[in-house]
Amino acid sequence: MMTTMFTDRRQLREHQESRWRSVLASLLPGNKFYAEKLAGIDLAKARLSDLPFTTKAALLADQERYPPYGRMLSLPLERYSRLCQTSGTTTGRPLCWLDTPESWSAMLGCWEQMFRFIEMRNDDRLFFPFSFGPFLGFWTAFDYSTRNGYFTLPGGGMTSSARLRFLQAHRVTVVFCTPTYALHLAEVAVKEGIDLPASSVRMLIVAGEPGGSIPETRRRIEAAWGARVIDHSGMTEIGPMAIECWQARGGLHLLEADYLVEVIDPATGKEASSGQTGELVVTNLSRTGSPLLRYRTGDLAQLDNESCACGRIFARLRGGILGRVDEMIHLRGNNVYPGAIENLLRRFPEVTEYRVVVEETATLSNLRIEIEPVPSAVNSILVDRISKMIRDELLFRVEVVCVPPGSLPRYEMKAQRLIHTKGPASRAP
């Protein structure tokens, strides 16, 4: 499964051009979803930018109309061996995704590259402290790890406290989880008198939320664990797609041999100008069982083509995934990203958990931040300091309220900290 190394952009571009053309050729006539979508386009002459975007809404509609797998299958159903499904948090309805053994193997090839990027060592002990669900999250990392001789520890069906004892007992060195769960484990460790920085954990690979690239969240995880945070990004329907390298913080290398990535202005669909924040659009080059062409991910990102300290030529996402297009909050003429609020709240060690409630009435949006302080905090002072910092740095006024310790939900997988309501929302219990 050794993947080609690319040393110059021109050679990479040629590889991408020939790959997406061959993916396109392999789609038809089997893939009825794309056969319909691409009808009338002269595929032999088309450039990638001539192809229409694919949206999650269209895939969901297709699966609804042709249940349960839709028509996004380039091959006969018996060729597929693996089912994943999205967590369905945004749309409510999960999207099913099937893979052939060849597609699965291509994703293991992505991890082969990423293990090199993060300088995984042969004697590392890899711990996955969560219950694997139907979504893709870290399944392929786990599979790559076991197949390639890394000591691999599953940690599903355990309490957080049992997981902490487990990671100590087995001298775990690398932990895979969401940023939120890394913080939660650290919180439990403090309560139980476990000295995490003294543990053998040296690295946490985090995904599923933007937190791994939010400077204050990352700083907090690294301090609590005494270990390096590596941010990773992937999606069930796309695959494992980007990771930070060991040598440089603050940007995720895109696996450009396996994914062709564009950044567009979400309003116009045109390519975003260089360095601008826009929506990430991805074309699969190696996961070919149900490959996506120009898929609008709904994620906001910024491309960084500058050279990296590690010497790799793959472009990076500056600051990781910056948020979701549909999570941008329009507030009295301001555009506010939840990531900016998180970065600010994480500066306060007194805040253990929080959520952002957006109340939308017919005429205006109102924003309330609910924080859960540590028991020793003086709530009124904390609220004043946070309100002032938001006013000074994000330039808007916001209602900040304290809720009782332990009243906000804790998350093992993707956290839902942004709540939209129509009309005044009910308070946290």
Residues near Zn ion (CB under 5 A) are 245, 248, 308, 310, 312
Residue 259 CB, shortest distance to Zn ion, in Å, is: 17
Q: Are strands 125-128 and 174-177 parallel, antiparallel or unpaired?
A: parallel
Phi-psi region of 157 (alpha: psi -120 to 50; beta: other; left: phi over 0): left
Residue tagged 């691409």 (tokens):
38
Give the separation between CA 320 and CA 208, rounded to whole angstroms. 11
Residue 207 or 224: which CB sits closer to Zn ion?
Answer: 207
Residue 71 or 316: which CB sits closer to Zn ion?
Answer: 316
Residue 15 or 116: which CB sits closer to Zn ion?
Answer: 116
Contact yes or no for 352/377 (Cβ under 8 A): no
Residue 312 or 318: which CB sits closer to Zn ion?
Answer: 312
Residue 81 or 307: which CB sits closer to Zn ion?
Answer: 307
| φ and ψ at residue 113, rounded to 5 degrees | -65, -45
Residue 255 CB, shortest distance to Zn ion, in Å, is: 12
Residue 253 CB, shortest distance to Zn ion, in Å, is: 6
Residue 5 or 190: which CB sits closer to Zn ion?
Answer: 5
17: three-class secondary structure by DSSP: helix
Contact yes or no for 355/408 (Cβ under 8 A): yes
Q: CB burial class (10 A; 0-12, 13-18, 19+) of residue 423?
A: exposed
Contact yes or no for 219/343 (Cβ under 8 A): no
Q: CB burial class (10 A; 0-12, 13-18, 19+) of residue 387?
A: middle
Residue 323 CB, shortest distance to Zn ion, in Å, is: 23
Token pair belonging to 302: 């910024």
Residue 108 CB, shortest distance to Zn ion, in Å, is: 21
Residue 307 CB, shortest distance to Zn ion, in Å, is: 9
